[in-house]
Amino acid sequence: MDRRTFIKTGAAAVAVGAAARAGATASRPNLVLIMADDMGFSDLGCYGSEIATPNLDRLAAGGSRMTQFYNCARCCPTRASLLTGLYPHQAGVGHMAGPAFDQGAAGYQGHLAANTATIAETLRTAGYRTLMAGKWHVGQGRGQMPVDRGFDRYLGILVGAANYWKPKLYSGNQPIDNPPDCYTTDVFTDAALGFMKESRADRKPYFLYLAFNAPHWPLHARPEDIEKYMGRYDGGWDRLRNERHERQKALGLVDPKWPLSPRDPAAADWASLSTDQKKRMSKKMAVYAAMVDRLDQNVGRVVQELEASGELDNTLVVFLSDNGACHESGPFGFDAQPQYMVNASTAYADIGTAKSFCSYGRSWSNAGNTPFRLHKSWTHEGGISSPLVAHWPNRLSARRVSGPGHVIDLMPTLLEAAGAAPLSERDGKPVQMIEGRSLLPQLTGGEAPERSLGWEHEGNRAWRQGDLKLVSTFDQGNKWELYNVVEDRTEKNNLAAKAPEKVSEMAKSWEAWGRRVGVEPWKKSQGVVPWVKEFLDPRGGGGRD
């Protein structure tokens, strides 16, 4: 039995004929929300990358592409906001997800709060089939799993990271064995396609949330994908940053007057590396590129299924990444993590294979976030800027959207597209009102509404008010910096010393926002994510040799 047959059988996928397909499409659109994991702003071809992403590039060419779309700086806070339309602290995931991160405060429960209604719960009430495949990472205890929070069907991983070849898969709320030839990016798509076919048989519109764990570490890719990129990165990260920046300017994604941010001070100078170091780091980036390439191939499988069923024109497809590219750990990344995988090979030949467990590090992450500063977990632009592509032939035409949007806006956007009203209660108890606003007016050519946006993650703070952005870094004393991000989005010209009154005014606004959404003072001891087994696998054992 091959992998796809296994998934179809295990997930009880139903094969349907052309007649069923023809009758499945109602006036309400299908909704397909696809998320990448730890993918940088510049990692797609349509955002300046050299990585082959023809399927996402095609969606971008025929739809709306946002240049100022914001996330919440890390995987699980962004996912909490995406699912609830709330800031992560309001949703109960102000820091991380999992029992170890329950800090006894409303904003830091380590799972979605009970007084939230998810997009799946809301759309299911409105008559949609609700489907999910992939990474959950917003709770793993009783009552916290996808099928407990509104999803009719689920297959994926519950936690933040996984061995791509040997994941800990769940179907519904039960652990299952891995299929033959398991590779998570492919397996999640197999499940998603099966769920889509089930929904056509039921003649219902569906909401599909396909949350890839790629390209989050560990660097794991199929050999044929790696081979495409071997040697491509021998010139190093500085050259890559410059190449991507030039393409971004040509595409109109960045203002030519914004200079490329300087190389991250903690990144390495490529010229200082030995020949062996350069060879090793070039291969790490080749594996990363292969992971993005494979992700795009699977987006293509979803689009092909929509085309074959006649559903593409009346399906809103949204693609984004959950945060900026990941700097972990150090300028060269880690070569092994015994906490996650015992006896992992660090041999050059094994990089990217099931024998390895490594990351690409801060220097390549700096290139992934071109042209911006810093990385995942920070609230400078490199940490909180995501590519966002929206494609809906029946409603959206090709355009570049320059106004700001935020992940809290995705739930109201999809609800408006579906003609569904937000829920006012869950299990007979009131729920919080959605914070976000629908992006459909912007995606169809309108102006972005005037509003302010707030961030806090691990003590890193930011406040966006009009063209101005106030931002601070916890491990550098949390001194406020001020930038005009319309004139200076690469955050090079700090205006704080020239405008102390504006800094004070905006800082007070951030403090009021923090009190309202449940931000707690951050402590230095909290600043490192604990390497606990449950972070990777709730059933114990961070990996297998």
**What positions carry a catalytic annotation?**
75, 137
Distance (Å, whole) CA 407 – CA 72 = 8
Q: Which residues contact 194 (CB under 8 A, 6 or more apart)?
A: 7, 8, 11, 12, 13, 14
Using alpha carbons, select from 54, 31, 47 the residue that is nearest to residue 296: 54
Q: Could you give the angle at the alpha carbon of 386 between the alpha carbons of 384 and 390, nearest 5°?
A: 145
| Strand partners for 320 | 35, 388
Q: How many whole angstroms from its chain centre is CA 440?
A: 20
Q: Are 143 and 219 within 8 A, CB to CB?
A: no
Q: Are 406 and 70 within 8 A, CB to CB?
A: yes
Residue type, position 151, single letter: F
Distance (Å, whole) CA 413 – CA 411 = 5
- What are residue 129's phi and psi, to 5 degrees? -80, 135
Q: Are 215 and 291 within 8 A, CB to CB?
A: yes
| Bond into 371 cis (ω within 30) | yes
Q: Two tokens at 264? A: 């991250």
Q: How many CA atoms lie within 13 A of 449 on its CB side?
A: 11
Q: Using the 8-state DSSP alphabet, how is residue 220 labeled? A: B
Q: How many CA atoms lie within 13 A of 103 on its CB side?
A: 20
**In angstroms, what CA-CA distances link 386 with 77, 492, 495?**
14, 20, 25
DSSP run (H or E) holding 304: helix 275-308
Using alpha carbons, select from 158, 112, 151, 157 the residue that is nearest to residue 132: 151
Q: Is 137 left (phi over 0), alpha (psi -120 to 50) or beta?
A: left
Q: How many other C-beta atoms can be found within 10 angstroms of the C-beta atom of residue 23? A: 12
